[in-house]
Structure 1
């Protein structure tokens, strides 16, 4: 009997790799140690300057860089389906950068200053990052809309937060009702909290 191999986006419960990432994140320790990375330019063939500027800042953020490098980079063959497109894309982005190569010691005369050249790596276009705008149905992808780097940063952080919360539910499914999502739309409360809210409404004279 052949097992159906799912592809594309799937719920976290149907993603066989999700539990492995959840266990990694459960035991991760944030590292704030700076990393000397070889700079690489991001090619801008469209109106993606606000995205590219944000990405460069995130790559230079040590906790973000170390966290994404801690998660394995899976190929399409290893992971044909995924429930974490945002995490996957940023793991891939961080793996595009490597440590700054150590240049050979230059010959110098006594008293001369040492000048070290910084040689950037090849520029690339992070198209997989741009696709997240349509995968997650962001309004930032609408034509004619004013783009904003701060809003895009919020889109990234909220997306990563939501995916990590969903992964965490795999480790403690019984506490799913107690989880508060990052945003007012998905805010869920348990029965005790609902009773407390009802009592509060009665006390202040609001209809329940």
Structure 2
């Protein structure tokens, strides 16, 4: 047997022989043949050596779902809402026509195309917990809960859902809840008009918010409290009777009035001292545009063409 050659190291011959005598190599053992009887035996616990790497978040851990109520979420979302923020991403899915419901579908599509309103619903959806009890008509904010449910159905899928969605040939359309349509038909009969439905929907959401226990966080002091009672009054005269009229902006007290409405209150003061008040709440100013019959035009071009006679 050839003696091993020491290539490096400051060892004597005796030290080298001593090290070689006690050194041994652990050869890998062959696995034992499988036996079905081993399944009934208790498994040996693994060695309790600490793992060299412990992830901060274990793989497969589900994040805690939001549990905030809709009433509490409204105040926080309205305070943080940026009216100039770009619209959140939603899936491009149509709405099923459930029998002459095109007026309802186009109304919801128009509202969801409005970035502030869409972002409001998306932020509420991310903060609110389970709202499965939306069918209870005695609960508060029922209309808003239906809208949050709709946004969650249109919400962008997570990475885990991407694989399933990519297999689809096209996105399936959404079936809208009949909640708003039933209320609209009970109040307005069977007349199907998109403009009337939009007015009804915004008014219903406004009243729904007012009837809840929510406190609108962006209410500003009334102009009447900061100015003199005679400031802003204009004297008018009709049939020889002098009077004065005053216009002031109504306080914003709901998300609908904050995003869509510019309400105006008019008070008529007769010289005899009797005050006549009148308030007209206009949900929005409807702008009727004339579309060209032949050439295509942009929205700004149609607005300019509509205002040409007055300008």
- With the shorter chain as reference, the TM-score category is 0.5 to 0.7
Give the alignment's Cα RMSD to 1 decimal.
4.3
Aligned to 1:45: 98
Match of 2:153 in 1: 96
Question: 1:85 corresponds to which residue?
Answer: 142
1:27 pairs with 2:71? no
What are the within-5 Å matches in structure 2 for residues 106-145 of structure 1? Answer: 120-126=170-176, 128=177, 130-135=178-183, 138-140=186-188, 142-143=189-190, 145=191
CA contact 2:184–2:197 (8 Å) conserved in 1: no
| Pair 75,179 (structure 1): closer, same or farther in 2 beyond 3 Å | same
Q: Please state whether the residue corresponding to 2:94 is helix, strand or coil.
A: strand
Bigger Rg, structure 1 or 2: 2
Looking at structure 1, the residues matched to 97 and 153 of structure 2 have their Cα atoms a distance apart, in angstroms, of: 16
Kept after mapping to 2: 8 A contact 1:22/1:168: no
TM superposition score normalised by structure 2: 0.40
Contact 1:37 1:99 in 2 (8 A): yes
1:135 and 1:206, CA in 2 relative to 1: closer, same or farther beyond 3 A? closer
1:9-24 aligned at under 5 Å gives the runs 17=69, 19-24=71-76
**CA displacement at 1:205 relative to structure 2:** 7.0
Structure 1 position 153, deviation (Å): 1.2
Q: 1:137 to 1:53 in 2, by over 3 A?
A: closer
Are residues 1:203 and 2:248 paired?
Answer: no
Deviation at 1:135, TM superposition (A): 4.2
Q: Which runs of 4+ in 1 moved over 6 A?
A: 100-103, 178-182, 204-207
Alignment partner of 1:75 is 2:144: no
> Which has the larger helix fraction?
1
Once the two structures are superposed, residues 69-128 of structure 1 have per-residue CA deviations (whole angstroms, 9 ceiling, x without a partner) of 11125333599652112211111111111338999xxxxxxxxxxxxxxx74211211x2
Quote the Cα distance in structure 2 between the aligned partners of 1:28 and 1:64: 13
TM-score for the superposition, normalised by structure 1:
0.56
Q: For structure 2, which runs of at least 5 residues remain unmatched after alignment?
A: 1-68, 163-168, 222-249, 258-264, 277-311
8 Å contact from structure 1 (residues 38, 101) kept in 2:
no
- Would the alpha carbon gap of residues 26 and 65 (structure 1) be closer, same or farther in structure 2, given more than 3 Å must change? closer
Higher relative contact order (CA 8 A, sep 6+): 1
Contact 2:140 2:211 in 1 (8 A): no
Counterpart residue number, 1:13:
none
Give the unaligned 5+ runs of structure 1: 1-16, 104-118, 183-188, 190-195
* 2:193 paired with 1:148: yes
Cα distance, 1:58 vs structure 2: 1.8
Q: Is 1:161 aligned to 2:211, yes or no?
A: no
Contact persistence 1:21–1:167 (CA under 8 A): no
